[in-house]
Structure 1
Amino acid sequence: MKQLLLPLKAFALLAFILGAAIGNGQAQNTPSEIIWDKYGVPHVYSQNTAEMYYAFGWAQMHNHANLLLELYGQARGRASEYWGDKYLDSDKQVHLFNLPVTARKQYAQQPPEGKQHLDAFVRGVNAYAQMHPEAIDAAKKQVLPITAYDVLAHSSRVICLEFLGSDDIRAAVREITPGSNAYAIAPSRSASKKAMLVTNPHLPWEDFFVFFEAHLSAPGFNAYGVSLVGQPILNIAFNDHLGWTHTVNTIDASDRYELTLQNGGYLLDGKVQAFEKRTVPLKIRQADGSVKTENLVLASSKHGPVVGEKNGKAYAVRIAGLENGLLGTQYHKMAQAKNWQEFEAAIKMMQNPLFNIIYADKAGNILYLFNGNVPKRPEGDWAFWNGTVDGRSSKYIWNSYHRYEDLPKVFNPGTGFVQNANDAPWTSTYPVALKPADFPAYMAPLETQLRPQRAVNMLKDDTSISFDELVAYKMNTGMEAGDRFLDDLLKAVQKHPDPVAQRAAAVLQKWDRQTEAHSKGAILFARWFDKMREDMFTTPWNPDQPFTTPDGLKDPQKAVALLVTTANEVEKRYGALDVAWGEVYRFRVGDYNVPGNGAPGHYGVFRTMYYYSADDNKEYAFHGDSYVAITEFGDKVRAQVLLSYGNATQPGSKHRGDQLQLLSEKKLRPALLEKQEILKNMEKREQLQMNQ
């Protein structure tokens, strides 16, 4: 197969031998075309879906080559060989869960079309590397050429080990976890009488969490959305008929077992079982460039791989879905579906072991689905399985999953909307449509945090939601915590006057209860709320009042004392109590540095942003609103989108951070769906042709 790059502005034709032809083995005479728009989004037009995925692999390398190769090197379990011991833990984890071997089994499971798509994507990645060696960091070139096994192992590593199993692998909950917001609005609640969808994942702005925005077209296929870098599919997308988004759900499909060690093995049902052990020679690059080999001894129990030992106990982790090999096939079918029936047939494949699905279509259907591979368990509630499980009894070792029909779902509710903001399925609409008692106690937790409460409270009384109103809801920076507790705090200051508290109260009285760049008082309130504990509220969270509790201050005098402490800290650090939010909280990527807005979700802020503290006394966003798409499904699909950090990570790319100003101004950009509009906003155009 030959690869020809034909940029319109170039005069030379370059050809490289890259392998066998795709498709039916015939020579492909019509080249694929990539029209790059001014935000670095590739719009791919191909004569068949295999060539389309070839161009998709090429385009991912164009914008993310170094990151892509680093991720594939890690998925291969050889990153420490390539780049040193800082990748050693990653390599050990990949081999512990045997991802390279599993990837080969997954490849063998692929149906002919799925294998064709995957192979084409890989060839596109390798073709770009051969055509543009100057664009790739020398250290990253060691990974080339990429194989289909690398891509499959990467998908398993990200979805199963990082999204699903990371807490159990580390035996501790991370401080910042992936999250998301989503709405689907039915025609009955839409001002235009057309269904609408809000897509809004919240992920860290780096590494394997980075999104790549793309538009893929071939006969019978036309989809626009985002892929996690390195994945050969659109993870979240819409087409001319329908769309879906994901939120991280409260699923527990990964379990951590405590094993009792005895006589070199572990106890199971009263007998000593031997660990299964294997040795993996792991090469590690040294600072002087030499490579040493460390023999990594890996142990597994009947529960799963052993991730560590402590105080005479071993800990094993069992993760659902690691064997799933047809994720790409499922997502291709999802993106290709033309109606609800075709879409449902695709998601019934159950290849994605986690993530809620929120869906809307042109016919007016909407869906919330608690999607994933939920293990069938003999007993225990969500808290039991979310903790450390006693590994001495084999009854706790699950071997099958609940069917699609068993999962909590809400389809076309009379309420006219569904939502999810990483809450349990019970609060997916209002009034509630699902009851926990109708499902196994381990299916999901009960409590609803402030951010999903905000999601429901913003629109539950709006019976005619316009497209612009939906955009405004998505961009809302208000604090549910402020609406819930500020009045009580101000009353407490009146009852227990203190000079410092009164000065702070004067600032809070004028605060707009938002986290806009210009909001003064938001920092003061947020730092005070951070000092509050659940037992300080008069009314704790109540499942019978899921959107209005917790409420009230149990000890007003204590609340005032905490405000005094907070005010002194804020004034000392920033020189004033009324410092503006955007003066401290910033958006910074590459050469861009602009005022921020939005705040962490535990304040009940729908515009979710997480920040890290820097040496310059500023806080910089590193996680939160990543990709936004507001889509309306009419005769023609209408969509506005934004990819917060820009659509490229390659050094020198103009698209690193080029959407931050829009993010700061809370603006979206129109998704370019018609070729005529794309050409009006074209940055460059190139053609890719594959010949036998």
Structure 2
Amino acid sequence: MLSSKLVVVGVVVMLALLVAALFAGYVWRSAETERVAYIYRDEFGVPHIYADTDEGVMYAFGYAQAEDHLENMIKNYLAVNGRLSEFFGEAYLQQDLLVKALKIKETAENWEGQISPEVYVLIRSFAKGVNIYIEEHGDELPPWVAGYRVTAEDIIALQYYAMLSRSISWATKELKGASAESAGWGSNEWAVAPSKTVDGSTVLLGDPHLPWSGLNRWYEAHLEGDKLHVYGATLYGLPFILIGFNRNITWTLTRNGVDLADIFVEKLNPEDPTLYLTEDGWRRAESLEITVKVRKGDELKPQHRVFYYTRHGLVVKADLERGFAYATALEGYGNLRAIEEMYKINVASNLEEFKEALKLRGLILWNVLYADVNGNIYYVYNAAIHLKSEKYSHYKPRLGWEADAQWGNIIPFDELPQVENPASGFIQNNNDMPWFVTVNSGIRPGDYPTYLVDRNAEMNDRGIRAFTVLSGKEKFTAKELYNLAVDVHVVAADKYLDSALKEIKEALTSGGFADHIDAARKALEILEGWNREALKDEPGMTVFYFWYRRYRQTRDAVEAFWLAVEDLLACYGRVDVEWGSVHVFSRGNITLPIEGGDHLVPTLWMAGHTMAKCREVCVSGSSFTMLVYLKPGNITAYTLIPYGESENPSSPHYADQMPLKSQRRLKPVHLYREDVEKHSIEITRLKLP
């Protein structure tokens, strides 16, 4: 065995450390000659990984991830290879065909020139760590996992696909004629300068709102090597921290509204439809035959498809009778630099180095927010997308044969909307346009093209709340900023409830609601006494939610109230139902109430899903909450994920963060070595190759 594990709990931890110290002359000298890494697991199973080199850290990080979610990782790698159908059947055929048609793995295999040899070695070391775990535990694993060996190219492909999937979703909506800007969940971020905190700290919140399952699941980790000294979260199967902090800086991301794809309509030659028109004449489309193996029982049956490509990209639709085809041009297509960029961000020590990392342009979107121990706060509306004519709507296909419809160069980084150290002392972005980030941001909507920003956008409810709080007070205590991180104030109630209550009271006075008069009066009383917080013991949130859902349909406050009362009675037989009975989340045999709003009634701290008739079982929302307080030589942080670090139902860390989530509490981060060792309940000593 290449790893040895010591499980220690409580006082035993201190005893183990004492023994290690007493025998340091033998044990630790041996470790130096053997080259080892140490994985300390804290009380929530978070791995704290120490090695002399970044390569050793990556090896141990791959191993640690495999311990917690190996099957999920391998599924991700199979997905980017277009091989899910091979193991899980025909349900994945269309996904596999798309992945192969987009040449995800083929692109990753041609990484040279975009990824440095230094970073490639680290990625390869991560893969080796996963593989050694598979070799050690092969007898315990399903055959489809035990037989898999991860490559560096798998990992590069996963990072690439995770980024490109945003463009794919955008293109899909555009092809269907839907507004791509309405796609997806949001996220929260804000930063506060020392001038605005009582103790002089710089503070940053990161709170991405994403699904709690699938490709975008977060994994929390702490990595300590020679250059890597970083804490935060990454996605399953990726080696570098995506949202986090190191000894000097912290950063986070939220989704922005840049145009990530265009559909080009191609005019086909009536005599030969493999020819399409360009501004310079006819050009032949490329073709590629793709084979996907599909499992049916014990058999693998190959499925063959032929795909065509124009200069703009993959042909996704053709109308041969009319002589047109539609090709999708994806921002970020062929761009593998995100994984290199994330490593550079992980090891950056100041704002200049952070900006240099961003200038690699591997991240094709995101509102990027930064803070550091020296008191700097910085924001950029990031977009590695192409310049193009605004003559054509970015919601409709562009004419593939017109010269002025073609894409130009990538927008220069320095021409993106940015704010650095504003006089207001704060920056916030909750998926709003960049001019809303702070007081007097200096960013003007008319200075930027419409495919980069939405000039007519209004601030959303989460943005309104964060902006109102942060601009409403001169200085904040650490506790006040913690409270803002988990804030559940319902801005929609501020907007609509006062006028609605007036109309409802008038209707009740005039004899309305004859069928349910007592229930209606009770519901009105509840709403009038509600503090407009989405708390689990609040029936006011429940009544408001049911009313607002109906109000969006009817736009009539009184009718919506009557329907909401009927809905509540039909569901529960009463109207005084606590929000925590309606708004819940589950894992395994655990179901708990959860506070906050959802996508229909947003709050800063939120969770939700499409509401069933009477209950909302939440599966998305605040997915990794990180609150960091920075001072020179002293960093304090708090984090939380919805369920737990492990995907193994028998693990104590499968759902151990759920009670904290239910209580709107974040867990303290163990950052310094002494603190890590004190709180470790399990230590793995891993021999490095």
| Superposition pairs of residues 417-496 of structure 1, within 5 angstroms | 417-446=426-455, 447=457, 448-496=459-507
Structure 2 letter corresponding to 1:477: V
Go from structure 1 to structure 2 and tell me whether the alpha carbon gap of 1:481 and 1:337 turns closer, same or farther (over 3 Å shift). Answer: same
SS at match of 1:521: helix
| Superposition pairs of residues 280-359 of structure 1, within 5 angstroms | 280-286=290-296, 288-309=297-318, 314-359=325-370
Q: Matched residues in 2 for 1:457 and 1:323: separation?
A: 41
Structure 2 letter corresponding to 1:342: E
Gap runs ≥5 in structure 1: 11-26, 537-557
8 Å CA contact 2:244, 2:626 repeated in 1 = no
User: Aligned residue for 1:623?
Assistant: 620
| Superposition pairs of residues 160-239 of structure 1, within 5 angstroms | 160-161=164-165, 163-170=166-173, 171-172=175-176, 177-239=184-246
Go from structure 1 to structure 2 and tell me whether the alpha carbon gap of 1:257 and 1:608 turns closer, same or farther (over 3 Å shift). Answer: farther
Shift of 1:247: 0.5
Go from structure 1 to structure 2 and tell me whether the alpha carbon gap of 1:387 and 1:622 turns closer, same or farther (over 3 Å shift). Answer: farther
Shift of 1:271: 5.6
Go from structure 1 to structure 2 and tell me whether the alpha carbon gap of 1:670 and 1:523 turns closer, same or farther (over 3 Å shift). Answer: same
Q: Matched residues in 2 for 1:324 and 1:515: separation?
A: 42
Shift of 1:270: 9.5
8 Å CA contact 2:171, 2:330 repeated in 1 = no
User: Aligned residue for 2:255?
Assistant: 248
Q: Residue deviations 1:595-625, cap 9 Å, x none?
A: 111122442411121134569x432110001
Q: Residue deviations 1:622-652, cap 9 Å, x none?
A: 0001111110111310101111121121342
Q: Residue deviations 1:230-281, cap 9 Å, x none?
A: 1121111101111000111111122233445553254544965543211012
Structure 1 letter corresponding to 2:479: D
SS at match of 1:106: coil
Q: Matched residues in 2 for 1:9 and 1:93: separation?
A: 45
Q: Matched residues in 1 for 2:161 and 2:662: separation?
A: 33
8 Å CA contact 2:426, 2:470 repeated in 1 = no
Go from structure 1 to structure 2 and tell me whether the alpha carbon gap of 1:641 and 1:396 turns closer, same or farther (over 3 Å shift). Answer: same
SS at match of 2:688: strand
Is 2:166 the partner of 1:147? Answer: no
Q: 2:534 aligns with which of 515, 522, 529?
A: 515
Structure 2 letter corresponding to 1:513: R
Structure 2 letter corresponding to 1:435: R
SS at match of 1:33: strand
8 Å CA contact 1:640, 1:668 repeated in 2 = yes
Shift of 1:346: 1.4
SS at match of 2:467: helix
Is 2:138 the partner of 1:133? Answer: yes
SS at match of 1:530: helix
SS at match of 2:96: helix
8 Å CA contact 1:626, 1:645 repeated in 2 = no
Q: Matched residues in 1 for 2:546 and 2:278: separation?
A: 49
Go from structure 1 to structure 2 and tell me whether the alpha carbon gap of 1:534 and 1:261 turns closer, same or farther (over 3 Å shift). Answer: farther
Shift of 1:208: 0.8
Q: Matched residues in 1 for 2:542 and 2:402: separation?
A: 50
Shift of 1:131: 1.1
Q: Matched residues in 1 for 2:602 and 2:473: separation?
A: 19
User: Aligned residue for 1:409?
Assistant: 418
Structure 2 letter corresponding to 1:159: M
Go from structure 1 to structure 2 and tell me whether the alpha carbon gap of 1:582 and 1:258 turns closer, same or farther (over 3 Å shift). Answer: farther
SS at match of 2:251: strand
Go from structure 1 to structure 2 and tell me whether the alpha carbon gap of 1:571 and 1:62 turns closer, same or farther (over 3 Å shift). Answer: same
Q: Matched residues in 1 for 2:349 and 2:280: separation?
A: 55
Q: Matched residues in 2 for 1:201 and 1:690: separation?
A: 34
8 Å CA contact 1:419, 1:428 repeated in 2 = yes
User: Aligned residue for 2:660?
Assistant: 662
SS at match of 2:294: strand
Shift of 1:399: 4.3
Q: Matched residues in 2 for 1:325 and 1:135: separation?
A: 35
User: Aligned residue for 2:686?
Assistant: 688
8 Å CA contact 1:454, 1:604 repeated in 2 = no
SS at match of 1:678: helix
Is 2:169 the partner of 1:158? Answer: no
Q: Matched residues in 2 for 1:7 and 1:207: separation?
A: 30
SS at match of 2:629: strand
Structure 2 letter corresponding to 1:528: W
8 Å CA contact 1:449, 1:602 repeated in 2 = no
SS at match of 2:93: helix
Shift of 1:150: 1.1
Q: Residue deviations 1:559-608, cap 9 Å, x none?
A: 21222122212221222222111011112122321111112244241112
SS at match of 1:6: strand
Q: Matched residues in 2 for 1:267 and 1:579: separation?
A: 63
Q: Matched residues in 2 for 1:135 and 1:107: separation?
A: 36
Q: Which shows bigger deviation, 656-665 or 674-683? A: 674-683
Go from structure 1 to structure 2 and tell me whether the alpha carbon gap of 1:95 and 1:664 turns closer, same or farther (over 3 Å shift). Answer: same
Structure 1 letter corresponding to 2:533: Q
Shift of 1:209: 0.8
SS at match of 1:333: helix
Structure 2 letter corresponding to 1:103: A
User: Aligned residue for 2:287?
Assistant: 277
8 Å CA contact 1:479, 1:515 repeated in 2 = yes
SS at match of 2:190: strand
Structure 1 letter corresponding to 2:170: D
Structure 2 letter corresponding to 1:92: L
Q: 2:2 aligns with which of 1, 4, 8?
A: 4
How many residue pairs align between the two structures?
A: 646
User: Aligned residue for 1:609?
Assistant: 607
8 Å CA contact 1:32, 1:687 repeated in 2 = yes
Go from structure 1 to structure 2 and tell me whether the alpha carbon gap of 1:348 and 1:28 turns closer, same or farther (over 3 Å shift). Answer: farther
Q: Matched residues in 1 for 2:537 and 2:264: separation?
A: 49
SS at match of 1:398: coil
SS at match of 2:628: strand
| Superposition pairs of residues 116-127 of structure 1, within 5 angstroms | 116-127=121-132
Structure 2 letter corresponding to 1:349: L
Q: Matched residues in 2 for 1:669 and 1:208: separation?
A: 24
Structure 1 letter corresponding to 2:449: P
Shift of 1:75: 0.6
SS at match of 2:435: helix
Shift of 1:388: 3.9
State the TM-score, normalized to the length of structure 2. Answer: 0.89
Shift of 1:452: 1.4
Structure 1 letter corresponding to 2:629: E
Q: 2:38 aligns with which of 33, 42, 48?
A: 33
- What is the percent sequence identity of the aligned residues? 28
User: Aligned residue for 1:550?
Assistant: none
State the TM-score, normalized to the length of structure 1. Answer: 0.89
Q: Residue deviations 1:529-565, cap 9 Å, x none?
A: 23445995xxxxxxxxxxxxxxxxxxxxx32122212
8 Å CA contact 1:213, 1:647 repeated in 2 = yes
Go from structure 1 to structure 2 and tell me whether the alpha carbon gap of 1:571 and 1:365 turns closer, same or farther (over 3 Å shift). Answer: same
SS at match of 2:595: coil
Q: Which shows bigger deviation, 64-73 or 307-316? A: 307-316
